[in-house]
Each structure stands twice: as structure tokens, then as C-alpha cells.
Amino acid sequence: MFKSAVLKLTLWYVILALSLSLAFSSALYLFANNEIKEGLKHQYSELTKSETDQVKSPSIIDEEVQISSGHLVLDFLYLNVAVLVLSSLIGYFLAKRTLKPIKEAHIAQVRFSEEASHELKTPLTSLKIATELALMKTKGNSNETTSTLKDNLKDINTLENLINYLLLVARGEKEDQFEEISSVDITSQAIENVSLLAESKKIKIETKISKIDFKASKFKMIQLLSILLDNAIKYSPSKTKILLNVTKYNDQIVIKIKDQGFGIDKNEIAHIFDRYYRSKNSKAKSGFGLGLSMAKEIVKKHKGTIEVESKLNKGTSFIIRIPLN
């Protein structure tokens, strides 16, 4: 879409530049042609007066004017060809620069819609699972009902905060705020976000968290860990373990999430962070191939790196390194 718009805008720039060039060339040609004609008449008039009283035939003047006019036409033709080439190049560059903010705004709008949809899925899934588990209980009691309602209310609050955040971002009123956060806080919140999903598959999340304070976007870091934990649970068999380790190494916070899942084929590892890409193992699961690309974008905003190690039928590890400074 934007390639077509760039070409159309370039064409308009070229038409404008060429129209101005042709108008200027025509005016200059008429002026120069008239000046040459008058100059030649004056020159021949002076020559004839000095040699004879007879007026020389104007055919010689007309012939000289025609030769000069031919040279002018050729010169202006070369000039307009040069204008056509230069205006095409400059017009294309200006068109790209002109449309760049619009393109970026469009991409941001698309990503906003996609990320909002993706992020809203996790708490809604938790609400659904919590309700289904409560309904499956044959011997419900008031404590159980209260606990389920509390979990539901917690997820509803998460949805409310998320929607408010996204609305602020959409209006351009909020950027990701980097603040002093704790590794313990963000990991506990992320685990809480996926706890019902893990419980439904009887997957245990084991943690080894070093308390590290660092500057980052709290919202984005919880989002990052939730995406990776959600993926680990989704692609792991029931009754398995997920290991979540957070350590400090060489002025970096190192986060490692290891599962005992199906693993990723070696040939697919290079593509798993691509937007919309889904591996062979993931096609049987629901999703749109957005989670890992979003995770990579979050890590990139924090000037960090994300790596993946995987073996088929043995599990996958995601290693994130983010500078503490």
C-alpha cells in the first residue's frame, strides 16, 4: 500500500517539477529567440550600412535565427531530460520522507490492535478456566466460590489497567516509563498471571530468583515474562516442570525460562521471533504468532538480547540478558 502511495506522490512531484521546467524553458526560449533575432538584425544593419546603401535580404537573418533556435531547442531538451531524472530521484526521496510519519503511525495502529488483542486473551483465558474449574467441582462451598470470585476480580482489574494503559498510549499521552523495579515483584506478578493456566495442566513453576533492583518498564517486563511463561505452559505436556531463574552476571540481569516441552526444530529457531510465524508444533495450538515477536521487541527497547536453545522432545530455554545500567 505505501509503495504505491510513494510512487503516486513521486509522480505528482515529477509532474509539478517538469511543468515548471517546461514553462520556464518555453518563456526563456521565446525571450532568447527574440533577442537573437533582434541582435542579428542590428548586426546585419550595421554591416550593410558600412558596405552599401541597399538593405540586405532578411532570408539570411531568418536562416541564422533558425539555426540558433535549433540549438536552443536541443539545449532545453537536454535540460528538461535532466530535470525529469533529477525530479524523479528527489521526488522519490521526498515522497518517502513525507509518508514516513504516516507509515509509522499506521504500523503503530496495527501493532496496537494486535498487541491489545493478544494481551487481552491471557486474563480472559484465566477467567474462563477459573469458571470452568469451579463448575466442574461437585462439592462446592462458599470458600471455594469466594476464592474463584477473587481470582476473577483480580483478572478483571488487570484487564481494566491494561485497557487504560492502551488508551493512553493510543492518544500519545504515555510512553513506557522506566522506573526502579524489583526482579522479585515482576516475576511473582507474571507467575500469578499464568497460574490458573499452569494449574489446569498440573504444571509446576519452580523459581530461583535473585533479588535484583534495576530500571525498566514494569508493565513491559511483566508482559515479557508472562508471554514466555504462557508459551512454555502451552507447549509443555501436563504434569511437567518449568524452571524460572533470575541471576546477575556482568552488570546484566539474566532471566532463563526452561520448559520440558516439545521443543523447536533447529531449522525453525531462526524464524520464531518473526511476526506471525508459527512453528510446526505450534499449529495445533491457538494463537497468531505474535507473542515471541512482541517479546523480542520489549527486550530490544530495554537494549537487551534474547536467545533460544531447544532440542526436540526435550524442551526449550529462553535466555534474556538486559543491562542494569
| Max CA distance (Å), the chain | 132
Number of Cβ within 10 Å of residue 225's Cβ equals: 27
Number of Cβ within 10 Å of residue 68's Cβ equals: 17
The residue type at 114: E
Residue that the C-alpha cell 531530460 belongs to: 81
Half-sphere exposure of 124 (CA within 13 A, CB side): 8
Number of Cβ within 10 Å of residue 43's Cβ equals: 12
Number of Cβ within 10 Å of residue 136's Cβ equals: 8
Phi then psi for residue 304, to 5 deg, are -110, -170
Domains and CATH numbers, the chain: 2-104 (no CATH), 180-323 (3.30.565.10)
Q: What is the pLDDT of residues 295-319, one digit of tens each?
A: 998 999 999 999 999 988 889 999 9
- Distance, in Å, from the CA atom of 88 to the CA atom of 64, rounded to the nearest integer, reads 36
Contact yes or no for 280/266 (Cβ under 8 A): no
| DSSP single-letter state for residue 264 | -
Q: What is the pLDDT of residue 117?
A: 63
Through-space distance between the first and last CA atoms of the chain, rounded to whole angstroms = 41
pLDDT tens-place values along the chain, 325 residues long: 667 877 888 888 888 888 888 888 788 777 777 777 677 666 666 666 555 444 445 566 666 667 777 777 787 788 888 888 888 888 888 888 887 887 777 777 767 766 776 677 677 677 777 766 766 664 556 676 767 666 776 777 677 666 666 665 655 555 567 899 999 999 999 998 888 889 889 999 999 999 999 999 988 899 899 999 998 998 899 999 999 999 999 899 999 999 998 888 888 888 888 876 666 555 445 554 678 888 998 999 999 999 999 988 889 999 999 999 7
DSSP string, 74-116: HHHHHHHHHHHHHHHHHHHHHHHHHHHHHHHHHHHHHHHHHHH
Contact yes or no for 139/49 (Cβ under 8 A): no
Cell numbers placing 174: 504515555
| DSSP single-letter state for residue 139 | S
